[in-house]
Amino acid sequence: MKLNVIIEKNDTELYGRIEGIGNFMPVVIGETPEDVQEKLLALIRDYREHEGKEDTAWLSIDLKTVEFEIHDEPES
């Protein structure tokens, strides 16, 4: 499964988020796209183990095989 990651940039950091899945929108800050992906995986794992124990949308995602597709924030 591919998860769409929206990346926003400021002068020093990247902000990454995944929208539209279940009852949770993970948002992290990182230095590189790879850093953002690692932090998103850790945050999703934590969510599934704690407050997301009944969020079937997130529980159905196999985190061992998930792929991230990076998208820049669309300009308004």
pLDDT surpassing 80 at residue 73: no
- The one-character DSSP state at 59 is H
Tell me the pTM. 0.90
Average pLDDT score over the chain = 93
- Judged on CB neighbours under 10 Å (0-12, 13-18, 19+), 20 is exposed
pLDDT in tens, 11-36: 999 999 999 999 999 999 999 999 99
pLDDT attached to residue 72: 86
Domain 2-72, what fold?
Double Stranded RNA Binding Domain (3.30.160)
Domain coordinates in residue numbering, the chain? 2-72
Which of the four pLDDT bands, split at 50, 70 and 90, describes residue 75? low
pLDDT attached to residue 33: 92
